[in-house]
Amino acid sequence: MELAITFEGRHLATLVAANDEVRLSYSVAWQAAPDHFPISLRMPVDGSTYKGDIVLLWLMNLLPEGDPLRAMTRVVGATADDVLGLIARTGTDLAGALSIGLDTPGGTPDYREITGSDALERIISDLPARPFLVDEEGVSMSLAGAQDKLPVAKLGDAIGVPMHGAPSTHILKPDNPRLLGSVQNEALCMVLARRAGLLTAPVTTGLAGQRSYLLVTRYDREGEPGAVRRIHQEDFCQSLGRPPVAKYEYNGTGTRGPSIADFFATVRAHMTAREITQLLDAVIFNIAIGNVDSHAKNYSVLLTHQANRFAPLYDLMSGLGWANITQNHAQAIGGQRRGRHIYARHWQRMAEASGLSPKATVRRVEAVTARLLRELPRASEEVAAMPAGPGLMLKVFEREIAQRIGEVRAHAQEPGDEEYGAPGNDDADQIDATTYHG
């Protein structure tokens, strides 16, 4: 099989699968282009031919996981390990700037408007069986993750489905029937991050019949439908060459996944001091709100010809407010995974392992948590005024998050007891983070 990788109609690279090996080669024209950028930090534009795991792992991270992946394979008649076959069917609109496929999509790029709330509700209800509308004529798109979602375009007050290679502009994330108030939870976390000064993708909420949804503006797109440009990006699993299953530091596979120190090493090697501070603020924020699902695929880098930049935060949800959700974070802080047991010495250990100043890191925890406590009530009011309203759980989430922020802030000024130093796993029988979010 041979697949073309394109950017805005330009041939960027070629994927070839032969003799049980996948190879990727940049085109001569792309290597000579003054505006070229790499497909991945691990695959610079230097004339090399990349092969094996370095290519396959990058491709795997473009596909969904869990139930959406299983449903996709059933619909297209492929197996989960047929990565190229799945990409060939769904690779026209992906995370980042690239399109991957057998040939140029047929038809003129356009958008099919979803007419009416009932039609949108039906699409949302069908997503578990038809992820990304995979069997619909003219539709070819995919996103990573284990939860249902749909790339869409905002057409004024309406929502449209990208057709024949048109780029999406937003990601629609339906409510989770198993977790009451999931839309308000994620909206609150996203708005709080923005109000506290963290670079965050804009969001709003919406209603479709009996369903609610979060609408996230894609940070890897710019412009309006008809003149949308894609911006390239990759997540930290791709940057670090890890499979999706290893997105958690402690993941049950027998191989430890990326650590916080690995995240900082990536940023330090490819970005600037500004991005190091942005990553530190993001790590502090996720601990402070109880976002136990802040794994390696929820941090990304924007890749351009001029520079690499830390991407806006785009997938934030608190694990607080619901029973039976694990409280083990995706990555440990100085050896501790339980947010309410992270003390000054854990932040200091993390800082030392990550090449940061321990004292400055603790001061940063205090500064960020102070901003969060100040902005949380106003963030809650902002979410309540969105189209989906406050629901039944918004005040519960606000209360639980405020309590955790206060704990993290207070504990950052205390050394803590040594008994809480080891990575916790005392709730292994509870629902894992992927189950509630992914």
- Comparing 74 with 349, the larger pLDDT belongs to 349
Among 211, 248, 190, 215, smallest CA distance to 434 is for: 248
Identify whether residues 13 and 136 lie together within a single domain: no
The domain boundary residue, chosen from 171, 186, 217: 217
Identify whether residues 22 and 146 lie together within a single domain: no
User: What's the pLDDT at 349?
Assistant: 98
Report which residue type is found at 84: L
Identify whether residues 59 and 122 lie together within a single domain: no
CB 291 within 8 A of CB 316: yes
User: What's the pLDDT at 68?
Assistant: 87
> Is residue 368 within a helix (H) or strand (E), and if so which, with residue range?
helix 358-384
Which pLDDT tens digit goes with each residue over 333-346?
A: 999 999 999 999 99
Residue 206 main-chain phi, psi, to 5 deg: -155, 170
Which pLDDT tens digit goes with each residue over 188-201?
A: 999 999 999 999 99
Could you tell me how many helices (H) and strands (E) the chain has, helices first?
13, 18
Which pLDDT tens digit goes with each residue over 126-159?
A: 999 888 888 787 788 888 988 899 999 999 999 9
Which pLDDT tens digit goes with each residue over 8-43?
A: 999 999 999 888 889 999 999 999 999 999 999 999
CB 133 within 8 A of CB 150: yes
Number of domains in the chain: 3
What's the whole-number average pLDDT of the chain?
Answer: 91
Q: Count the Cβ atoms, other than its own, within 10 Å of residue 349.
A: 19
Identify whether residues 97 and 114 lie together within a single domain: no
Identify whether residues 285 and 364 lie together within a single domain: yes
pLDDT above 90 for 324: no
Identify whether residues 201 and 78 lie together within a single domain: no
Q: Count the Cβ atoms, other than its own, within 10 Å of residue 40.
A: 21
The per-residue DSSP string of 69-120 comes to: HHHHHHHHT--TT-HHHHHHHHTTB-SSS-EEESSPPSS--EEEEE-SHHHH
pLDDT confidence band for 432 (50 / 70 / 90)? very low
Cα–Cα distance, 299 to 286 (Å, whole number): 11
The per-residue DSSP string of 127-170 comes to: TTTSGGGTTSTT--B---BSS--EEEEEETTEEEEEETTPPP-E
- Comparing 396 with 225, the larger pLDDT belongs to 396
User: What's the pLDDT at 104?
Assistant: 56
pLDDT confidence band for 73 (50 / 70 / 90)? confident
C-alpha distances in Å from residue 31, one per residue of 12, 153, 197: 8, 32, 38
The domain of 69 spans 2-101
Identify whether residues 390 and 297 lie together within a single domain: yes
Identify whether residues 81 and 209 lie together within a single domain: no
pTM (2 decimals)? 0.93
User: What's the pLDDT at 438?
Assistant: 57
The domain boundary residue, chosen from 40, 69, 101: 101
User: What's the pLDDT at 254?
Assistant: 81
User: What's the pLDDT at 260?
Assistant: 98
